Amino acid sequence: MIRVYGKIIYMNKEFEFMNLVAKNLTHYRKVNNLTQLQLAEKLNYSDKSVSKWERGESLPDIYVLYKITELYGITLNDLTSKKKPKRKLQYTKSKLLSTLILIGICWLLATVVYVLFGIFIPSFKLAWLSFIYAIPLSMIVLIILSIRWWNMFITYLSTSLLIWSIPLAIFLSIRYDNLWLLFICAIPIQIIITFWFTLQIEINRNISK
């Protein structure tokens, strides 16, 4: 009787622990704006396995847990602690600062180009265009970083700015009749991008359910 009772207590504790880890895994995945499919791809596992972990039906092995903690910038204790998980503010600040630094480098390059033209070719009156070209360059950097770190809204916003900043840079750089028609070309591209991102959001929403 004692042995049976002890086994029941052990099973209950095991069940509680699995549910705790499952809740924490779900929490940190959503905090990092990942779907189950995206997390599975990063871990080289199937989304079905991730779904089982988050339902408390099974536990990932210790190496997978280690990879998850590295991915989220947390500790193993964060995944197994009963304390309500909190977003790692320091990790988020690091990503934000890294993003700002890389974008700042783009504008630094534009400033250097502008200054060099002013020193060595002062007669060149279009040196200010270096700042216009810094816009699409910054957006390319932001797109790359947003895909890795940020959410789809940031990716959509930076992609939209890239679509419009490229024809703007060309329009201001080249004196040619009817070059403003480039902006008309950007309209259907913007519509397609909007539909594509809307579709991706719906797909990710259905997967994460």
Structurally, the chain folds into a number of domains equal to 2
Looking at the structure, tell me whether residues 162 and 116 fall in a common domain: yes
Looking at the structure, tell me whether residues 100 and 163 fall in a common domain: yes
Q: Mean pLDDT across the stretch 112-124? A: 94
Q: Which CA distances in Å does 168 have to 44, 135, 178, 182, 183?
A: 41, 10, 13, 8, 8
| Alpha-carbon gap, residue 78 to 110, rounded angstroms | 43
Q: Do 29 and 78 touch, CB atoms closer than 8 A? A: no
Q: Report the pLDDT value the prediction gives residue 209, as an integer from 0 to 100.
A: 53
Looking at the structure, tell me whether residues 106 and 183 fall in a common domain: yes
Domain boundary among 42, 60, 80: 80
CATH number of the domain bearing residue 69? 1.10.260.40
- Take residue 109 and report the two structure tokens written for it: 């390059």
Q: What is the mean pLDDT of the chain?
A: 86
Looking at the structure, tell me whether residues 42 and 69 fall in a common domain: yes
Looking at the structure, tell me whether residues 102 and 178 fall in a common domain: yes
Looking at the structure, tell me whether residues 174 and 94 fall in a common domain: yes
Q: Mean pLDDT across the stretch 81-103? A: 74
Looking at the structure, tell me whether residues 69 and 106 fall in a common domain: no
pTM of the prediction?
A: 0.59
> What residue numbers bound the domain in which 148 lies?
89-208
Q: Report the pLDDT value the prediction gives residue 4, as an integer from 0 to 100.
A: 43
Looking at the structure, tell me whether residues 199 and 163 fall in a common domain: yes
* pLDDT band (50, 70, 90) for residue 208: low
